[in-house]
Amino acid sequence: MQLIRDNFERMVNLSDDDWNTFSSKLIRQEFSKKTPILETGQIENYLSFVEKGLVRYYIPDEDSDLTFTFVFDGEFASGYDSFITRLPANYIIETLADTVLWRISYSDLQYIYAETKIGNTIGRLASEDLFLKKTKRELSLLNDSAEQRYRNLFIEQPQLIQKIPQKYLASYIGITPQALSRIRKRIY
């Protein structure tokens, strides 16, 4: 739980009272590898912080799932569009490794917004983090070649290359596993 406070305090000072109110609403949950956290058709009820683990977001498909993001230690995870709209998600969020999440429910977060001085700031910081990651990914898909997206991953997020199966990496950068294999041969 201290990891969450440290994360927030890099951006804003939290009083002990505000932290105690916020942290009293957090739920610690452990998930085994390959466990769905959110299923297609469910409404996201949590904003989560990954203490330890690895999470994948994907759109299921009969032929090949479309992976569109990964979340690692020290990052927020949520089907945020479903969380804020209260509408069902059209994708799946699952763990790729044993994962520990600290979670706050939608109703508890609304309470935090109303009852603490810092609540809205915490919500804004979490949503800004999720938004910036989404925007960066979209711009990369529009502007960069598949090889450049792979190179960017290697430079910016080497943990992706080391921890994630190649078929998911290929899907994430928008190519087939065979095309990723060719890119890797050219680079190495």
DSSP string, 67-125: EEEEEETTSEE--HHHHHH----SSEEEESS-EEEEEEEHHHHHHHHHH-SSHHHHHHH
Query: For residue 62, with 0-12 CB atoms within 10 Å meaning exposed, 13-18 middle and 19 or more buried, which class applies?
Result: exposed
Cα radius of gyration (the chain): 18
The pLDDT assigned to 148 comes to 93
The pLDDT assigned to 34 comes to 97
Of how many residues is the chain composed?
188
The pLDDT assigned to 28 comes to 97
The pLDDT assigned to 155 comes to 86
Q: What angle do CA 164, 76, 103 make, to 5 degrees?
A: 115
The pLDDT assigned to 122 comes to 78
In which residue ranges of the chain is pLDDT below 50?
Answer: none
The pLDDT assigned to 105 comes to 97
The pLDDT assigned to 18 comes to 86
